[in-house]
Structure 1
Amino acid sequence: MHRALIEPADAGDAAAVVALWRACGLTRPWNDPEADFALAVAGPASVVLVARGEGISGSVMVGFDGHRGWVYYLAVAPERRGAGLGRALMAAAEAWLLGKGAPKLQLMVRDDNEAALGFYEALGLERQKVVVLGRFLGEGEASPL
């Protein structure tokens, strides 16, 4: 089992958390992870939780839109995987959402990410009968999600 302290990140954690997200393959060229981090840390309806031990070994971004809780960027450093840290981060995310009054937790996983799908299913999350639709807003050419 893990021995890390899980707590909210602050602005000073941005570089380490974004580096972790990149090391775990969670970033995409069309998303700005620094902006995502800054918005989540500054917002009253969102948080980035980090696992601290010898540095930041895991993180999860959590938000509540008033209807559902959302989980993003769950990351565990590759050398720390398999010790329960991902489960602990998800438990902390759920506790944060319960504290906000969220009745349901949701997250999106790319359909070809079998490892992540297996992880979440092992935690009791179920595939939902919904289709996610989207569009990029603002200037520039649309990029694939």
Structure 2
Amino acid sequence: MSVTIRAFSETDTEAVLALWLQAFPEYNDASRPHRNPRLSIANKLGVQPELFFVAVLDGGDGDGALVGTAMAGYDGHRGWLYSVAIAPEARRRGVGTRLVRHAECALAAMGCLKLNLQVLDDKPEVLAFYDRLGYRADAVVSLGKRLAAQESETVD
């Protein structure tokens, strides 16, 4: 399968949303308002949009069917990888590996020395994919806090 990896364009929005709703069933769960794919895209376009990548079937002009996504970020200390999604018909054909490697190279060019990612623990096939790419569990505990759900607090 021949694909081109390029930066996301706003004209990719609907294709990305369709892929994400298919690849990430949790986006369809109304009890998880923090999983809003339109907001994820908008937020990424506001911060390091050059690190939002799409894989498209190669039609010669890079405008073929969208078959994959990857978002990356770098804060000067650690890099992060998010929203790696591959269309079912493109899985096990090297598209995911190419997207991850593309993001790794972009982050390395920025001076990033360590890349982190998180995978839901009920996705063994995704964990196996990252294991094949050399990712290992760090001896850390991942903590999170939903800021939007926080009640107003006063600071003294």
1:80 aligned to which of 90, 107, 114: 90
SS of the residue 2:101 aligns to: helix
Stretch deviating more after TM superposition (130-139 or 80-89):
130-139
Q: Deviations over 1:79-136 (max 9, x none)?
A: 1111110100011010111121111011000112100000000111011111011111
Post-superposition offset of 1:42: 3.1
Question: Which residue of the partner structure matches residue 136 of structure 1?
Answer: 146
**Alignment check: 8 A CA contact 1:46 1:63 kept:** no
Question: Which residue of the partner structure matches residue 55 of structure 2?
Answer: 51
2:44 paired with 1:40: yes
- Given the two structures, how large is their TM-score scaled by the length of structure 2? 0.83
**In the comparison of the two structures, how many residue pairs are matched?**
140
- Cα distance in 2 for partners of 1:140, 1:12 equals 34
Stretch deviating more after TM superposition (26-35 or 52-61):
26-35
Structure 2 unaligned blocks of 5 or more:
58-63, 152-156
**Alignment check: 8 A CA contact 1:10 1:41 kept:** no
Question: Which residue of the partner structure matches residue 108 of structure 1?
Answer: 118
AA paired with 1:10?
S
- Cα distance in 2 for partners of 1:27, 1:11 equals 23
2:59 paired with 1:60: no
Post-superposition offset of 1:41: 2.5
Change (3 A) 1:122 1:8: same
Question: Which residue of the partner structure matches residue 154 of structure 2?
Answer: none
2:10 paired with 1:11: yes
Post-superposition offset of 1:44: 2.9
- Cα distance in 2 for partners of 1:14, 1:27 equals 19
Structure whose alpha-carbon radius of gyration is higher: 2
Post-superposition offset of 1:27: 4.3
Change (3 A) 1:26 1:42: farther
**Alignment check: 8 A CA contact 2:7 2:50 kept:** no
Structure 1 unaligned blocks of 5 or more:
none
Post-superposition offset of 1:45: 6.8
Identity of aligned residues (%): 36
- Given the two structures, how large is their TM-score scaled by the length of structure 1? 0.88
